[in-house]
Amino acid sequence: MPEDNTNRDRIRALVRDVLDKIPADSNEGPASAGEAGATRFIDVAPVNTKAAESPVTRDESSKKVITEDDVRGLESGAVLRIAEGARLTPLAADIVREKNIEIVRRASRRGSTATKMVAVGSDHGGFKMKQDLKTFLTESGHRVHDFGTDSEDAVDYPDFAHAVARAVADGTADVGIVIDGAGIGSAMAANKVPGVRAAACYTVQLARNSREHNGANVLTLGSGTVNTAQMREIVGAWLGTEIKEERHKKRVAKIEAIGRQYQR
């Protein structure tokens, strides 16, 4: 048994050493945030969390990699703050799920023009506009993960809205954009995923408001309600706006608290 423990400690040390060398913006490696499965990720919380609905139990936001040793001592239902780009090892993610630990990602201090990983998706009605969207995002310096659909053959919008929402909730994407005929159905589907705040926006003003006041992390658009030029203006405004004021962050925290009341 002592020998098994020694080998286990050596393996842990080796894994930690390898993960520490992975660049923060890398999408590869076993510690990808996406492996956290059902872990809930929410926008946070400035350093002062007195106004937040869920006070932080432990702050590990100085670390790039969260291992099982960082979460093992936490009690069930605890709140753990981590850095925006931090990764969870598979073992750490398992403990988080088992103990229903809430993950709070510390907001980045980077400007709103920082490069983002954008998850995009559409149904058949939004396919053409999605292609234009990807071009616009790439030209703007953002990275894109396309979850489909890949043609104008009829499909069901909830499938793609769900895929995009999961990427945002799991932390593998910074934000998400989904396009269907009206934008409403995809917003409804995306908002079923814990930690997601999807907003259907048809104007630049609504796009800015959804981010600045509501901390929207998924934008839904209707290909039948806006044209390509309008889509670009809306997306540009949405990506260029961040929630900053404490009063708005406090209200968003209450939105998240409502959602947690109905999670089993």
Contact residues for 230 (Cβ-Cβ < 8 A; gap 6+): none
Contact residues for 9 (Cβ-Cβ < 8 A; gap 6+): none
Contact residues for 262 (Cβ-Cβ < 8 A; gap 6+): none
Contact 87, 31 (CB under 8 A): yes
Residue with tokens 């705040």: 197
CA distance 56 to 147: 33
Q: Decide if 213 is catalytic.
A: yes
- Whose CA is closest to 222, among 231, 212, 232, 213? 231
240-256 exposure pattern, b = at least 16 Cβ within 10 A, e = fewer: ebebeeeeebeebbeeb
128-153 exposure pattern, b = at least 16 Cβ within 10 A, e = fewer: ebbebbbebbeebebebbbbbbeeee
124, 162, 213, 248: which one is catalytic? 213
Q: Give catalytic residue positions.
A: 213
